[in-house]
Amino acid sequence: EQLSLIFLYISCWCIANSHSFIIHHLTKSSRCGVSKICDNLNPIIDTEFISGTSAILSQKPIGTNSTTLQMLSFYCFKPVMCPTSCRDMWFNSIKDIPGLRGSVYVASEGINAQMAIPPEHLDDFLHHCSNKTLFPFDKIPPNLGDTVSIKIPTFDKLIVRVRDFVLRDGLSQETNLNWEEAGPELEAQEWQRGLNSNEDRVLIDCRNLYESAKGTFQDALPLGTDTFKESWDRLDLLTKDLPRNKPFYIFCTGGIRCVKVGAYLKQKLKFENVSRLKHGIISYQKWVSENPDEVSIWQGENFLFDKRRLEREEKDELK
């Protein structure tokens, strides 16, 4: 009988402490912005808590009568206090937009997205995200690419995902760079003028080798990397004998990689004059197409990261 009482006491103690443990974690999640389960009958499941930082929320695009899609991308390096909560807010806020597809990556360092949306819903999308404080489009306009037929493969789904980084760089924590100090951005026209001048400068292609092989700017030096995290050793080697006042022009597909490369050149390697192509190759090619009197200094194709690239490669193989 005494033994039964002991077991009963231990069982009650375990149940009580388990309850306290659950309440502690639920309130902890609520403090960082995760949906309060008691306040919402249909909460967004905190899949990060269940599945780790690669957990995603996704859905197939909602049907639309539109015949075209506007390609766009945007990024911002600003601290995100609770990426899981931010992911849920993003998904809930945009999931009902007809035809919207693409990927939004959320991390503690910021947000990075590549999307396709029917043009008639673009303004509503931008205003809605700004009003919901999801992204400061009023201060950082999106990078608008091509308008393509909705029949052309772009993205299969709308995906909002939490990641450790929006752009994994492989840098140690001791490097401690400020992404807001990466050198000025040049509009396409100013970039063209700078590259066509007789200035003694260095032009660096910040993309991987498989991208540079498809196309690049005249006289550009490719870093020759297989992954972005290899960039730092290549930059150290490439620049070791150059004077610190040497002008640098750097570019990538949409601009995000140049933020980290520019910060590294300025802060770690101490180069004084670093300029970046605003919105990258995508913006430059759009500017050239809209200004037929300008002679493009781009050679080849721009490597795409959506499904349009796969379609092009399949067509090339059939030739």
Q: How confident is the model at residue 49 (pLDDT cuts 50, 70, 90)?
A: very low
Pick left, alpha or beta for residue 58 (phi over 0 → left; psi -120 to 50 → alpha; otherwise beta). Answer: beta
Query: Average of pLDDT values for 156-165?
Result: 95
Average pLDDT of the chain is 82
Query: Average of pLDDT values for 126-144?
Result: 88
Query: Average of pLDDT values for 62-81?
Result: 95
pLDDT at 198 over 80: no
Please list, in sequence order, all residues whose beta carbon lies within 8 angstroms of the beta carbon of residue 232, skipping any fewer than 6 positions away. Answer: 169, 170, 171, 264, 268
Residue with tokens 């695009």: 61
Whole-number pLDDT of residue 32 = 39
Q: How confident is the model at residue 131 (pLDDT cuts 50, 70, 90)?
A: confident
Cα-based distances in Å from 176 to 75, 169, 273: 20, 12, 20
Q: How many residues does the chain have?
A: 319
Query: Average of pLDDT values for 88-107?
Result: 95
Whole-number pLDDT of residue 55 = 79
Q: How confident is the model at residue 39 (pLDDT cuts 50, 70, 90)?
A: very low
- Pick from 214, 218, 224: which is nearest to 249 by CA? 218
CA distance 28 to 44: 16
In 220-242, which positions are buried (b, 16+ CB within 10 angstroms) versus exposed (e)? bebbebeebeebbebbeebbeee
pLDDT at 137 over 80: yes
Instruction: Convert the pLDDT of each residue in 240-275 to its tens digit.
Output: 999 999 999 999 999 999 999 999 999 999 999 999
The secondary structure element, H or E, covering residue 104 is: strand 101-107
CB 75, CB 110: distance < 8 Å? yes
Whole-number pLDDT of residue 199 = 81
Residues involved in catalysis: 252
Whole-number pLDDT of residue 306 = 54
Is the pTM here over 0.85, yes or no? no
Q: In sequence order, what E strands does 118-260 have?
A: 143-149, 158-162, 185-186, 202-205, 215-217, 221-222, 247-251
Looking at residue 107, its amino acid is A
Query: Average of pLDDT values for 31-48?
Result: 32
